[in-house]
Amino acid sequence: MHLSAQTHYQAELDAGRFCLQQCPQCEKHVFTPRELCPHCGAGGLRWVRAGGLGRVYSTSTIARKADAGGNYNVALIDLDEGVRMMSRVEGLAPEAVAIGQRVRAHVAQQDGRGLVLFTPVQDGGAV
């Protein structure tokens, strides 16, 4: 049975693994999951473990009432592999997430499904 690229990506997350696709021809990483490389058009994209480090490209604070969970952030993260993804940065106030800040990915479980979230890289951490 052939799984779609998106289904495979979610299955990896559900198992606690953050994976990206990589083109066997041009060797560039690909996100969002797809069947063909958007850079060179090659098929047969392979799945590789993401390094997990990146930098905040942009961030927005979404306001919510405290009884609805309070404010949270939505951020675009540029991964070191050269792809950009939308996620959240946790571990600090939503307003404190800064453009250019180094972050590290982890897979969290929510309602039985895996999702990629980020935490700040502490001073002295990998850059």
Position 47 in a domain:
yes
Whether residue 72 lies inside any domain: the answer is yes
Would you say residue 57 lies in a domain? yes
In a domain, 125, yes or no: no
Contact 62, 51 (CB under 8 A): no
Quote the tokens at residue 124: 């002295």
How does residue 127 score in pLDDT terms, banded at 50, 70 and 90?
very low
Model confidence over 71-101: pLDDT tens digits? Answer: 999 999 999 999 999 999 999 999 999 999 9
pTM of the full structure: 0.88
Range of the domain at 28: 5-120
Count up the domains in the chain and report the number: 1
- On whether residue 126 sits in a domain, the answer given is no
